[in-house]
Amino acid sequence: MGIFYDESNRLFFIETPNTTMCLAVVDDEGFLNNAYYGAKAGRDDLTYLLGGKDNPAVPSRNDRDRGCYFDKARLEFPSGGTGDYRSPAVCVRDAQGHDSSLFTYVSYRIYDGKDEIHTPAGEGRTVRMPATFAGESSAQTLEIELDEKVLGLKAFLSYSVFEDSDAILKSVRMVNVSDNTVIIDKLLSSNLDIDLAAFGNHEPDIVTLSGSWARERRMDRRRISRGTTEVYSTRGESSHQFQPFSALCEQGTDDSGGKVYAQTLIWSGNFVCGAGMDQFETVRSYIGISPEHFTWDLKPGETFQTPEAVLVFTEDGFDGMSHIFHDLFRGHLIRSPYLYKDRPVLINNWEATYFNFNTDKLLDIAREAKKCGIEMLVMDDGWFGKRDDDNSSLGDWFVNEKKLPGGIGRLSDELEKMGMKFGIWFEPEMISPDSDLYRAHPDWAISSPGRIPTRIRNQYVLDITRSEVRDYVYECVAGILRSAKISYVKWDMNRQLADLGSTGLDAASMGRLSYLYTLGVYDLQERLLAEFPDLLLENCSGGGARYDAGMLFFSPQIWCSDDTDAYERLTIQAGTEMIYPLSTMGAHVSASPNHISGRVMPFDVRGAVALSGTFGYELDITMIPGDERESIPEQVEIYHSIGSIVREGDYYRIARVSDMELYDAWMSVTKDKERALLTYVQCKGSPQNNKRTIRLKGLDPDMKYSLKLIGSDDENSRFCSRGKKDAWKVLAPDGPVSGRSLMNAGLMIPVIWGEYGQVMIELTSEA
């Protein structure tokens, strides 16, 4: 790991343990180009990849065709209006409306460590943006200064690397050193031009994650050809519809192998992410804040900062990509003290009661849950104002004593007496038209004057760009937390932004609203964690609409999806796990038939799927069948037994039900290779004289492993299935088995009787 500057050739080498990025300053004018990014290369003169030192096409040698150079150059910070007709990384306008710009090299600095990122947030203040930090690892940072001489702008491009990561972190800081205001219409965090040779001179594939409410982050793979493929959000959040992520890969790349160039953004608001190929077969990949609903009037002396982009390259396929993202986020982004802790198993009352509950009902659920080993009760929506449905009271964060006589304090005291922790749900960013708050402060809602307000779920969005609104929201949440013994908060957001208008912004600054809104969320959560450092915070947005790296800076877990159907969750979780550690994924066992899909699935299968995340229950435990209730203590015990493997291990994808329909399978393997967990879920039955061979991944080939079927009633028959039909076995050698055999020869899993079934096997190395 390291950053080096070759002064004689004007080359920057940004190195991770297994990758190299080489930036080159080209021509006398100082055009910063990306000469190479990929597998580890030597610190050689790579300017030949850009046409060589005596390139006759550069402007100083061929000014008559200056535009032809820009049309083809692999510029690291391409701008609009000067001859590069591809998607630019920066678009700015001067006071006369001219939108041409060209940024050229000035200087650099390399320093040990990595600075925090702060950005102006209006009202004369700055906010710390979520970003990676060095932690226990050493880090180095390169900052390159570029200059736009006509407009008087400076751009500082930042690149950071850690000694234990193959990720490169990029961001941009823009400073106005002129005497005039300049309008920023677009400023991305990263641009990367890649020669088609990186993909074997074949058109690459692009992988994105798309969906909707209750079907988030489904893998979408398609071919890149001429033109651009782009995903985005203009909803004020990262969204259900698209994830701020893309991966360019060779056509044959799969989970186990192949080249991958991946990117994501540490940001929770509007974004754009895409890639396209030009007429010269160069692929341009980019990510940053969406230019839609965004302008920033940068006044003299002011600074604007982009979010941090994460770039990853690997030759080890999607599994290798996942390992880099997971390790980076666990080691350098998530700050929570719960990161590696055994988190309490919770039960949430939402799918159990919806709005129809009172203190007695909650305590009944808690008593039964306590008997089964569950450790926390979470009270969801409906405890405040006159909230008997979702049509009122958001913003009125005072306890409904008709439902909760004695208030939250009494409820938390009763739970403490029975040895249960207590958690609570908020939707702090929202306001109902039918609320005391809206009647007192209608101007606190984001709105566009003269237009019929756009309601979603019969609610509006609070304008938390304004300090008085943020202060009100914070005191509402903090006041409740001060009033009772509360260990956990679920922070929800159930609608997107529309009608973008704020009474706190002037006309010239209205284009800042979406950006400042996201900073407002960060500000609120930072304040909350500063006052309540031991709080377990789980973010949520109608399920998984704000599942992004930005939120992981504040919360170690995020509610993955409102769809708790275990079959649907297989695909949702497989997409989520491509980028995010399993320990960040809120996953619960819910009742059957499922409340969204109506699907009926065995309790053990529902448990196996949820055990790959932060485990809990979403049901009325007083109403479920007795055999299901009897299974809960065992599931809780399993969670605590294998939890460290899931939280800290490397994730491997074995099979995707979205690809093959028959089954889904994945593994977690500890870093020392001494423990592993295989989860197999059958999703389609067939005649029982059939079989399926599962080849494991990630084990030490020279270690011997003992295999234990998790959940078996019969200690002497460790490969028997539970359920109505247990006359089948996982076929494996008797006694310890080498990792080499398990990975190359595999296990045989005969078809389980019925449609759905599950197998969980714990592997432990033999000394």
Among all residues, which ones are annotated catalytic? 548, 628
Taking the alpha carbons at both ends of the chain, their separation in whole angstroms is 34
Contact 409, 476 (CB under 8 A): no
CA distance 147 to 104: 5
Rounded to the nearest angstrom, the gap between the alpha carbon of residue 35 and the centroid of all alpha carbons in its chain is 30
Name beta bridge partners: 283.
194, 277
Nearest to 273 by CA among 288, 259, 260, 283: 288
Task: Give the max Cα distance, the chain.
Answer: 83
Here the tokens at position 53 are 């030192």
> Residue 389 in contact with residue 353, Cβ under 8 Å?
no
Q: Which residue has the tokens 């941009």?
A: 172
Residue with tokens 């193959």: 166
Beta strands per DSSP E along 385-541? 421-426, 430-431, 460-461, 488-491, 536-539
Taking the CB of residue 48, how many other CB atoms lie within 10 A of it? 11
How many other CB atoms are there within 10 angstroms of residue 360's CB atom? 10
C-alpha closest to that of 473 among 443, 523, 428: 428
Nearest in space to 330 (alpha carbons), one of 80, 553, 37, 76: 553
CA angle 406, 409, 412 (to 5 degrees): 115
Task: State the DSSP string of 168-191.
Answer: EEEEEEEEE-SSS-EEEEEEEEEE
Return d(Cα 461, Cα 455) in angstroms, integer: 9
| Both structure tokens of 726 | 């247990």
Tell me how far apart the alpha carbons of residues 337 and 144 are, in angstroms, rounded to a whole number.
35
Question: Which DSSP state fits 93?
Answer: E
**Helix, strand or coil, per DSSP, at residue 671:** coil
As a whole number of angstroms, the distance between CA 156 and CA 151 comes to 15
Residues in the chain, total: 767
Q: For residues 566 and 607, what is the distance between their CA atoms, to the nearest angstrom? A: 8
User: Which residue's structure tokens are 């798309």?
Assistant: 210
Q: How far apart are CA 520 and CA 546, in angstroms?
A: 15
